[in-house]
Amino acid sequence: MSAEAADPGAPLRRRSRPRIDLRRLGRVALLGPVSRDRLPDAIGHVAEAHRAHHPDADLTILRRAYVLAESSHRGQMRKSGEPYITHPLAVTLILAELGAETTTLTASLLHDTVEDTEVTLDQVREQFGDEVCYLVDGVTKLEKVDYGAAAEPETFRKMLVATGNDVRVMSIKLADRLHNMRTLGVMRPEKQARIAKVTRDVLIPLAERLGVQALKTELEDLVFAILHPEEYEHTRALIAAAAGPDAPLDTIADSVRGTLRDAGISAEVLIRPRHFVSVHRVRRKRGELRGTDFGRLLVLVTEDADCYAVLGELHTCFTPVISEFKDFIAAPKFNLYQSLHTAVVGPGGAVAEVLIRTHRMHKVAEAGVVALGNPYAQDHAAAPQTEPSDERADPTRPGWLSRLLDWQESATDPDTFWTTLRADLAQDREITVFRTDGGTLGLPAGASCVDAAYAQYGDRAHTSIGARVNGRLATLSTVLSDGDTVQLLLAQDTASGPSPDWLDHARTPAARIAITGWLSDHPDEAKPTPSTMTSADPGGPGPAEPAAPERAAQATAPARTRSGPRATGVVVDRPDAPVRLAGCCTPVPPDELTGFVVRGGAVTVHRRECPAVAAMQEIGRAPVGARWADAGGRESDAGCRVTLVAESFGRPRLLADLTEAIATAEAAIVSATVEPPSEQRVRHTYTLQLPDAAGLPALMRAMREVAGVYDVSRAQHPAPAG
């Protein structure tokens, strides 16, 4: 069955069978039960399609499921005027054509009984077992009476959680939505548009991620026709005009068949029409369509090795378009898809795209997880499992689904869940990055080191200070590419947390929800930092704040502060108040100190010459006396933290040489920022933990001695009036 049917309204069916008249089946369904020695005529087509994929299937349970569905739905009619039983029949036929196993088809026949009839889940479990009961429950909608406006998002949440335990739940839901979309014309236009948008934003991406291309492509065309009727009709006209006996692809297909026959390669060469949305995308990309843009050649072989043999012959006997070559056999897509993609120049200069795959690959490409049969059967369960973090290790629980299920637990609000789900599913391409311990991380395209940190470490990623990407130091804002190797660097200070600016670089819901949650729980500790900041350490530097007069107007607002770590070597004139070193100036002994009470009753201690001190006094804040704990002006135990700014001329390996100088001085990098070069000059900002404040002058001298560095100074960033 082709996933790219030329007509999106055509039902999914095998070419060897005539089109099924659901109205006739509806009339048959109303005639009542038949003798026990044969199946009801109404599901004869389902049985035929099922036996085509599963010749030895026991159809007894299907008969019992049909009898229960027909009797429970009897008297109910669809808005189209057809008996309601035609809907579960059509949904089941779609799944049977895709090759679904008997349990899925049984649940499909019963999928609306609990929702729309008097049948209960207990009855389904008693008659058909726990598996069928679970699948039926998974696709049963939540009542609007109980959930109100949250019914739709919470229903999808319920289905996704159920899918996490059994992917067949979503298979049934997708087939259910496809049949509903095929018959959507009887609805009001505004309801058609609403259903089409949810299909576009949620169901189509889920079909893509589960690899069910046969459903995904038809859903795309049906949505296209409803939401963009003029462009749809224009595309339909273009496809109709291009149809004919002398289509360019026919000539190239004949040449390919002859080439493979001469090479002794047994292969089936088909012309695979593009579906409407695919043609529309090509037209928008190229402007004017070529005759070969309305379809692609599909070459089907028996063995994996034959795929590469076909590729070699095509690239030898035709001129290949090298930029179009992709090997999804050696590196399958995250949705199980495998195929070789290439393009060749045929007679007359026509360029044809070619897909090369085995028959097994083609079945999986069309049906995705449905082609797995029962993935929870004993023979599947006994198969050896690979590293759990591998995106393709478990097709019944792919990495993207595990990530989705993880973050949805934190999105307790239905609106947040619904908005985040749509945004997550809109990221339609995935990359795989490698960890230095040998594991892998599956991330959406465009993900940064921030996303990788939360994917690997969860909440521990709050203490991230940077990364190494392919062995080189990188900021947390660095966007990762497919195949990168990433090593995340965490601070030893477990009290540090994320910066609000990390949200600018977080693509995954898990990262965004974790960061937002931490910032909400720590309003007095969140630190705005530059977009290139690699860490959200409390002592880290931040961007320039508003001038003092502007800050005065903000003083009463619930502002976030950049207070630094708790000070263990500072005494203030409020004995019971928590004390923190200001992140804007990071005082160290023997700096002269002054403090101010911030929201929550803590005292933030600044260097006396810090610009924030004058700003605080201008808006009427009373200073609090502060001094180092001992007479020698030394911290009592835990060393000191300081922020240094290095000004330098840009050159290769400058960052590596600076960090080496810092490490040689036995200072630990808590966070680092490298601003974009300006006129060949680069500004580096480091927040460092020193074992002893006495080592600060030597450290600054060592940094100044690095070639290209012309100044190193203490940071003095203005801070908000906490």
Is 672 strand, coil or helix? strand
What are the distances in angstroms from CA 341 to CA 323, 333, 344, 689? 10, 13, 10, 53
DSSP readout, 287-338? SS--GGGGEEEEEEESSHHHHHHHHHHHHHHSEE-GGG-EETTTS--TTS--
Q: In terms of Cα–Cα distance, which of 111, 108, 114 is closest to 95?
A: 108
What sign results for the dihedral spanned by CA atoms 110, 113, 118, 123? positive
Q: Is there a contact between 519 and 526 (Cβ–Cβ < 8 Å)?
A: yes
Helix (H) or strand (E) holding 641: strand 640-649
For residue 209, what are the contacts with CB-CB under 8 A and spacing of at least 6?
Answer: 334, 335, 398, 400, 401, 425
Residue with tokens 């993900």: 447
Cα three-residue angle 444-446-449, rounded to 5 degrees: 90
How many C-beta atoms surround the C-beta of residue 634 within 10 A? 17
- Six token digits for residue 476: 């947390």
Contact (Cβ atoms closer than 8 angstroms) between residue 80 and residue 71:
no
**Is the CA virtual torsion 569, 573, 579, 580 positive or negative?**
negative
Nearest residue to 98 via CA among 367, 374, 372? 367
d(CA 610, CA 617): 12
Using left for φ > 0, alpha for ψ between -120 and 50, and beta otherwise, residue 708 falls in left
Query: Where do we find the tokens 């759990």?
Result: 388
Between CA 587 and CA 568 the distance in angstroms is: 13
Q: Are 3 and 213 in contact (CB under 8 A)?
A: yes
Q: Where are the alpha helices (DSSP H) in 442-591?
A: 449-457, 509-521, 548-554
| Short-list 585, 586, 589, CA closest to 569 | 589
The SS3 of residue 273 is strand
Cα–Cα dist 386/503, whole Å: 33
Which tokens hold the place of 273?
A: 């029409």
Distance in angstroms (rounded) separating the CA atoms of residues 370 and 108: 13
CA distance 290 to 292: 5
What whole-number distance in Å separates Cα of residue 555 and Cα of residue 322? 61
| Positions marked catalytic | 115-116
Which long-range CB contacts under 8 A does 66-69 form with residues at least 24 apart?
Answer: 66/39, 66/40, 66/42, 66/109, 67/33, 67/40, 68/110, 68/113, 68/119, 68/127, 69/109, 69/110, 69/113
Gap between the Cα atoms of 427 and 447, Å rounded: 10
Which class for 707: exposed (0-12), middle (13-18), buried (19 or more C-beta within 10 A)?
Answer: exposed
Other Cβ atoms closer than 10 A to 360: 14
Cβ(642)–Cβ(690) under 8 Å? yes
